[in-house]
A and B are shown apart, each in its own frame.
Chain A
Amino acid sequence: MRDVKAITSNLAAVEMMKVEMLTGNVAAAWAARLADVDYIPAYPITPQTEIIETLAKWIGEGVMKAKLVQLESEHSMLTAAGTASLTGARVFTATSSQGLLYGFEMLYNIAGWRAPLVLVNVSRGVAAPVTLEPDHNDVLAARDSGFLQFHAETCQDVLDLILLAYRVSEDRRVRLPSIVNMDGFYLSFTREPVHLPSQEMVEEFLPPYIPTLPFRASRPVVKGASVLGGHIYTYFKHNIHESMRRAIEVFEEASRHYGELTGRVYRPVEGFYLEDAEYVLVMSNSFTTMGKRAVLRLRDRGVPAGLVKIVMYRPFPSDQLAELLKNRKAVAVLDQNISPGMGGIIYQEVAGALYHQRNRPEVLMSVIGGLGGKYISLEEFEYIFDVLQHPEGRKPNTPLFLFRKDELESVKRALGLAGLGGEMG
Chain B
Amino acid sequence: MSETRYKTLRDVPLQEYLAPGNPLCAGCGATPVLRMFLKALEGRAVFVNAAGCFTLLHVYPYTPFKSSWMYTAFASAPAGAQGIRDALDILIEKGKVPPEEDVKVVCFTGDGAAYDIGLQSTSGAIERGLDFYYLVYDNEAYSNTGFQKSGATPYAAATATTLPTKLQKEGHTGSKKDLFEIWRSHKPPYVATIAPSHIVDMLRKIEKASKYRGPKLFISFTPCPTGWYHDTSESIRISKLAVECGVWPLKEAIFGEVKHTYVPRVLKPVEEYLKTQGRYKHLFHPQRQEHIIKTIQENIYQYWRRVAETEKLDIIIPPA
Contact (Cβ within 8 A) B73 A84: no
Question: Which residues of the partner chain A approach B65 to less than 8 Å between Cβ atoms?
Answer: 220, 222
Q: A72-B123, A79-B80, A84-B84 are in contact. Are A223 and B44 (CB under 8 A)?
A: no
Which of A210-218, A267-275, A339-347 lies at the binding interface?
A210-218
Which of B89-97, B209-217, B252-260, B299-307 lies at the binding interface?
B89-97
Question: Which residues of the partner chain A approach B73 to less than 8 Å between Cβ atoms?
Answer: 75, 79, 105-106, 109
List residues 47-96 of chain B with CB under 8 A from any CB of chain A.
48-49, 55-56, 58-61, 63, 65-73, 75-76, 78-84, 86-91, 94, 96
Is B121 interfacial (CB 8 A cutoff)?
A: yes
How many contacts A-B (CB < 8 Å)? 153
Contact (Cβ within 8 A) B124 A72: yes
Question: Which residues of the partner chain B approach A85 to less than 8 Å between Cβ atoms?
Answer: 83, 87
Partner of A215, one of B76, B84, B96: B84
Q: A76-B124, A83-B48, A87-B88 are in contact. Are A223 and B71 (CB under 8 A)?
A: yes
Question: Which residues of the partner chain A approach B76 to less than 8 Å between Cβ atoms?
Answer: 75-76, 79, 106
Is B46 interfacial (CB 8 A cutoff)?
A: yes
Partner of A38, one of B43, B68, B94, B124: B94
A274 → chain B, closest Cβ, in Å?
A: 44
Interface string of A203-242 (1 = CB under 8 A from B): 0000000000001111011111111100010000000000
- The size bracket of the interface on B is 35 or more
Which of B98-106, B156-164, B180-188, B234-242 lies at the binding interface?
B98-106
Partner of A222, one of B58, B78, B87: B58
Contact (Cβ within 8 A) B59 A76: no
Contact (Cβ within 8 A) A39 B90: yes
Partner of A86, one of B70, B94, B121: B70
Question: Which residues of the partner chain B approach A265 to less than 8 Å between Cβ atoms?
Answer: none
Partner of B72, one of A67, A77, A87, A109: A109
Q: What CA separation (Å) do A373 and B115 show in the bound complex?
A: 41
- Give chain B's interface residues, CB within 8 Å of chain A: 43-44, 46, 48-49, 55-56, 58-61, 63, 65-73, 75-76, 78-84, 86-91, 94, 96-97, 100-103, 120-121, 123-124, 127-128
18 CB-based A-B contacts, threshold 8 Å: A41-B86, A69-B128, A72-B123, A72-B127, A79-B82, A80-B79, A80-B80, A83-B72, A109-B73, A215-B46, A215-B70, A217-B101, A218-B101, A221-B68, A222-B68, A224-B49, A224-B70, A225-B58
- Give chain A's interface residues, CB within 8 Å of chain B: 38-39, 41, 65-67, 69, 71-73, 75-77, 79-89, 91, 105-106, 109, 215-218, 220-228, 232
Closest 8 CB pairs of A and B: A72-B124, A224-B71, A76-B79, A83-B83, A80-B83, A87-B87, A84-B83, A84-B87
